[in-house]
Amino acid sequence: MSERKSYLRLMGEGFRMLKQLKQTDTSVSLRSWTFSIHRDQEWHVVLRSNRIKWIGLPSRTFDIRPDAIRIGDLQIIRHHESNEVRLTINEEWGLENKVVCDNLEWETFVDALKQVKGE
């Protein structure tokens, strides 16, 4: 029964956050990934792609480095040698996905995130 309560609680939080994020005014894309990002007191992220839609829990973490980005449970790491960008979401079920992009695409994506963050 506790698994059901946990699932229902997560669903309730997801619907609540989705309702809040309908006001999202910033979307950033990288290939097939689209990140809708909103900030009130904490960062809220919705990830959409061809296969998934993920709503992140509110977080105070939003770190941008030249080869890695972290927003709450979501982490994006770029490998320079292969141009592979790996997206990992560390939470109860976990999620991993990857795309390949060139330097210009990556730099444009990072610059857009910096503008969202206010750097």
Q: How far is CA 106 from the centre of its chain?
A: 15
For the chain, the first-to-last Cα distance in angstroms comes to: 46
The predicted pLDDT at position 95 comes to 78
Read off the pLDDT band of 104 (50, 70, 90): very high
Q: What is the pLDDT of residues 18-45, one digit of tens each?
A: 665 545 468 999 999 999 998 888 999 9
**74-93 per-position pLDDT tens digit:** 999 999 889 999 999 887 66
Query: Where does the pLDDT of residue 63 fall: very low under 50, low under 70, confident under 90, or very high at 90 and above?
Result: very high
pTM for this one? 0.74
